[in-house]
Amino acid sequence: MNKKRMVLLTVIFLILSIPMVIFGESQDIKDVMWDGMTFTYDSNQEPWTEDELQILRKAVNDFYPEIGRVYGRPFMAMTVNIVKDPNLSCEGDYDENIIRLRNLNDLSVVLNQMLHLFHGACQIKLDSFEEGMASAAGRIILENIPEYRNQMKLSTAYYEALNQEMLGGNYKDGLDSKLHNELCDYAWSKVYTENSEFFASFMLNYIKNIWMILI
């Protein structure tokens, strides 16, 4: 499937999904079960130390239920392996059922990769949606857990400076990804402030619409 078709389908799914959330297809998000994603830590080439494993396992166990409350259920049941790769050019990345981390200096990176994998094959092919939602949800989740509260802050003082049309594009256009994410974070945080169940309800409907097309 070429890129233009993928983007077109994404827009169609979004158009179908957002009205269901706003105008109320009945969904009791509190009753949605989010069990189904398990984590392993088999890092053969660069094994985790015992101290790192303890920190990583605790972070995953702390983040996982909070992701469920904010983001809803994962796309599908899966086992995710988290590996250490000191040679990564970025702090962390993901691919299907693998999370790669350069180190554990910033646990918000672990959370961000987990959020993306919750969307799985249903990740939204528009950076301002996928990255923006993950950034906003990650910050909200960290604020909900006292010991991680200071790991990811967003100052409203920068909103006007970041509110530039060029930052609404895609990473491949040469944008600074951090600035892009922060601008999109502002936008999706406003939505969450109005409706704290928006992310979970939206993704539930988005995934349902995708399955209706694929089946």
pLDDT at 21 over 60: no
Using one digit for the tens of pLDDT, what is the confidence trace for 111-124? 999 999 998 777 87
Domain count within the chain:
1
What CATH number corresponds to the domain at position 119? 1.10.390.10
Q: Show the domain range for 130.
A: 28-214
Local confidence band at 60 (pLDDT 50, 70, 90 cut-offs): very high
Is the residue at 193 inside a domain? Answer: yes
Higher-confidence position of 109 and 150:
109
CA distance 73 to 172: 29
Is the residue at 102 inside a domain? Answer: yes
Local confidence band at 13 (pLDDT 50, 70, 90 cut-offs): very low
Is the residue at 103 inside a domain? Answer: yes
Is the residue at 1 inside a domain? Answer: no
How far does the chain reach from its first CA to its final CA, in angstroms? 17
Of the ranges 10-24, 27-41, 84-98, 103-117, which one carries the lowest mean pLDDT score?
Answer: 10-24
Of 210, 204, 183, 211, nearest to 70 (Cα)? 204
| Ramachandran angles phi, psi of 49, nearest 5° | -75, 165
C-alpha distances out from residue 57 to 40, 90, 104, 147, 164, Å: 9, 21, 11, 15, 39
Is the residue at 23 inside a domain? Answer: no
Is the residue at 127 inside a domain? Answer: yes
Is the residue at 112 inside a domain? Answer: yes
Is the residue at 167 inside a domain? Answer: yes
Using one digit for the tens of pLDDT, what is the confidence trace for 154-193? 656 666 666 666 555 555 455 556 666 777 888 888 889 8
Indicate the pTM of the whole model.
Answer: 0.78
| Ramachandran angles phi, psi of 101, nearest 5° | -125, 135
